[in-house]
Structure formats: structure tokens, C-alpha cells
Chain A
Amino acid sequence: GQSLEQPSEVTAVEGAIVQINCTYQTSGFYGLSWYQQHDGGAPTFLSYNALDGLEETGRFSSFLSRSDSYGYLLLQELQMKDSASYFCAVGFTGGGNKLTFGTGTQLKVEL
């Protein structure tokens, strides 16, 4: 089966940089996605990595190391509105058209 591990909670101050890690165990790994979900809201797609390295989208970047079965989401210049839950999700060959989601990391941004 597949399993993903991410911290349950992370706290950081406004303006800082925070890294949310995700480690996974899956056979036939194909790619890693990140989603953001505000309280009471729908998850929204942030980024996707299929190859090793860093993908940057504005203040958010996502990194993947396939050899280490590890990825992270990096949020820079934190803002209060970044307070949300962040989920990593993996797809795997043979898994068909589906993702397996992690349990989520709640990010609290403080003044």
C-alpha cells in the first residue's frame, strides 16, 4: 500500500519562511502534489512534482527527491492568509486515476 507522513502542525511568524515536509512509501511512485485548504473551504491545488528538484510558483515552492522518497512545500514571506492546512498527495503507477492524500499539516501564522 501507500503511506505518507507529514507533521500535524507547524507554527511560524508573519514574514518568515516555513517548510512542510512529506515522506512517502509507495511502490511505483509517479508524482507528488500539494494542496491548500482553509478552514471551511475546499482544497485547492498548489503544485506538482514528478521529477527531482524545485518548482517555484510565486511565494510557494515545492521540492522532490525521488531517491529519498521525500518532498517539501516551502512558503516564503509568510502572510496571515497562509494559515491553512496543507496536504501532500501521491500518485503511483498501477494506481489508475487516483491520488493518495496525507493527513495534512495545519500551518498557523502568527504576528
Chain B
Amino acid sequence: DVKVTQSSRYLVKRTGEKVFLECVQDMDHENMFWYRQDPGLGLRLIYFSYDVKMKEKGDIPEGYSVSREKKERFSLILESASTNQTSMYLCASSTPGGIYEQYFGPGTRLTVT
């Protein structure tokens, strides 16, 4: 069974803090993705990575950065958290040819106060 885990289920941070969201997958997938999910807006892609140390911007990368030092781990970084980054963050992974079948983690509900 593919397993994608995320470091926290719920997180509360203050405005201006640096925030790290961690994601680990155990299926040796090359592709990893970070999405945010907001009511009425669906899932929006922040960044994705198709290999170690490789990354590409998604549709809403502003205010975020990512790091992929190991194949199984993909980190999302909020350099200076703001209240408009309060959201559900979902990590996913897939094989290179399998972007249509992505495996999602349980999500991290981030609240920035």
C-alpha cells in the first residue's frame, strides 16, 4: 500500500513565523506535489518536484518555497507566514508516468494567527 505521511495534522503558527511542512512517501515515487485546498477553490498546485533537488512552480507559488534533498521527502516552507496562508495543505506523490493517479497524504490544517 502506498503511504504518504505528513508531519502534522494540525498546526497553529503566528504571523511572520517560518513554517516547515514535511511530507514523506514510501513508494519510491519520483514525483511529489504540494497543494493547498480552500473551500470553493478546489486543490491548487503550489510546487512539484520530479526528482531529487528538482522543483517547478505550480499555479500559486508566491510566498512558498520547497526542498527535496531525498527522494522520499518533500518539504514545503512558508518563509514568513501570513494569515492568508491559513489553509489545508495536501502532499501527493506519483510515478513519472502516473501523474493522473496521485497518492495523497492526510493533509495538514495550518492556521496562521
Contacts and interface: CB of A to CB of B under 8 A. Distances in A.
A107 B101 CA distance: 21
Nearest to A48: B100
Contacts of A102: 42
Interface residues of B, number: 28
B33 interface: yes
Contacts, number: 61
A42 B56 contact: no
A98 B58 contact: yes
B64 interface: no
B44 A41 contact: no
Classify chain A: how many residues form its interface, as a range: 20 to 34
A42 B106 contact: yes
A52 B71 CA distance: 35
Interface string B27-58: 00001010100001111110010100000101
A44 B43 CA distance: 13
Given A42-B90, A43-B90, A87-B42, A97 B48 contact: yes
Contacts of B58: 98
Given A43-B92, A89-B100, A96-B50, 12 more contacts: A8-B40, A31-B100, A42-B105, A87-B42, A91-B99, A97-B48, A98-B45, A98-B99, A99-B99, A101-B42, A101-B45, A103-B41
Interface of A: 8, 31, 33, 41-45, 48, 87, 89, 91, 96-104
20 contacts: A33-B101, A42-B4, A42-B90, A43-B90, A43-B104, A44-B104, A48-B100, A87-B42, A89-B43, A89-B100, A96-B48, A97-B31, A97-B94, A97-B99, A98-B48, A98-B58, A99-B100, A101-B45, A102-B42, A103-B40
